[in-house]
Amino acid sequence: MSAPRHPPGSRPLPLAPGPEFDLVRRFLGRVDTGAGVLVGPGDDCAVVDAGALALSTDMSIEGVHFRREWLEPEEIGWRAAAAALSDLAAVAARPLGILVSLAIPARDAGPFAERLMAGSREAVADAGGTLLGGDLTGSPGPVVLDVTVVGRVEEPVLRSGATAGEEVWVTGQLGGSRAFVEAMLSGAKPARRARERYARPRPRTREAVWLAERGLCSSMVDLSDGLAGDAGHLAAGSGVAIVLEEERVPVHPAADRALALSGGEDYELCFTSAAGALRPFTAEFASRFRVDLTRVGTVEPGAGVWIVAADGSRSAAGAGGWQHFGGAA
């Protein structure tokens, strides 16, 4: 099959009657069978037309990844979708769509759930994709969202492509999201810009595609667990050492240097690039995307992640970042 079964903007396929399907109908809105989406939500599967597709999934659980009292329902949905879309950015894939599995207590099966799903739809639309489907179920306790992302990619930028002598770069400013969490946990009033970073992170999907199309990233990862920790994936995947210069790390105005190195959930990109290759493009990138590019270190022979302090002393970053079973390093 090569043409959409229902035209863009049409209503979803009718579902059987019933309160669960009533709620699903409210989730869907208009079907966007855009480029590549042959069958949208409403059947047993969505069907997409694609060459090479990138796929990933990311689960968010109330009490683990978010607290309901810190966020509007739309922000919970946005944040979960953005975290998953960030994995597409990390391989330089163009978002096609998302599938959202949602488990909610029965009392939330109304406006709360609808607003949450509206937030997820908004996040994927902002990234150029659409809602492809999902699952809705009751939860005996926490709200659980699992977002699967699907994106087109011809030449994925993997974690394994870094070589010694290259530069290490990051997008944006780091630590803002964690600064919000620290403020909330300590009872302080969080900075508005820190809250925005936490509640509405913007996955760098367009930025990643732009960089990859110009051959400017040899390996890449998104920053979900913190720079020191996630850089470890590039080191392990490529069989190299990643050396980060502490003084170079771009610190979010609401954060400090320690948070910028270890704080998670910024959803910026960390990537490697041939020495000198990126410099001619940084001004154009910054003006196009209104996001800075900063060189934060170098790739060296060896293994692991190393932090070079202002005085030139070098220390191992350890396991680094957030771990669900073992806590933060």
Judged by beta carbon, residue 232 or residue 250, the one nearer a copy of itself is: 232
Check binding of 5 to a copy of itself (CB under 8 A). yes
Check binding of 68 to a copy of itself (CB under 8 A). no
Check binding of 155 to a copy of itself (CB under 8 A). yes
Tell me if residue 167 falls in helix, strand or coil: strand
Check binding of 106 to a copy of itself (CB under 8 A). yes
Check binding of 135 to a copy of itself (CB under 8 A). yes
300, 239 in Cβ contact below 8 A? no
- Quick note: the x/- pattern for a copy of itself over 219-248, rule CB under 8 A, is -xxx------x--xx-xxx-x---------
- Name residues whose C-beta falls within 8 Å of residue 144's C-beta, 6 or more positions apart in sequence: 59, 60, 61, 62, 101, 102, 103
State the number of binding residues for a copy of itself (CB under 8 A): 91
- Euclidean distance between CA atoms 318 and 329, whole angstroms: 7
Question: How far is the CA of 113 from the CAs of 41, 45, 76, 198, 279, in angstroms?
Answer: 17, 22, 10, 20, 45
Residue type, 259: L
**Could you tell me whether strands 130-138 and 314-316 are parallel, antiparallel, or unpaired per DSSP bridges?**
unpaired
Q: What count of other Cβ atoms lies within 10 Å of the Cβ of residue 280? A: 10
Which of 81, 124, 127, 132 is in the footprint of a copy of itself by CB under 8 A? 132
- Euclidean distance between CA atoms 77 and 84, whole angstroms: 11
Which of 3, 7, 17, 310 is in the footprint of a copy of itself by CB under 8 A? 17
For the segment 169-208, give every residue that binds a copy of itself (CB under 8 A).
Answer: none
Judged by beta carbon, residue 2 or residue 287, the one nearer a copy of itself is: 2
53, 85 in Cβ contact below 8 A? no
For the segment 247-286, give every residue that binds a copy of itself (CB under 8 A).
Answer: none
Check binding of 7 to a copy of itself (CB under 8 A). no
* Region of 53-61, 117-125, 187-195, 256-264 interacting with a copy of itself (CB under 8 A): 53-61
How near is the Cβ of 280 to a copy of itself at its closest, in Å? 27
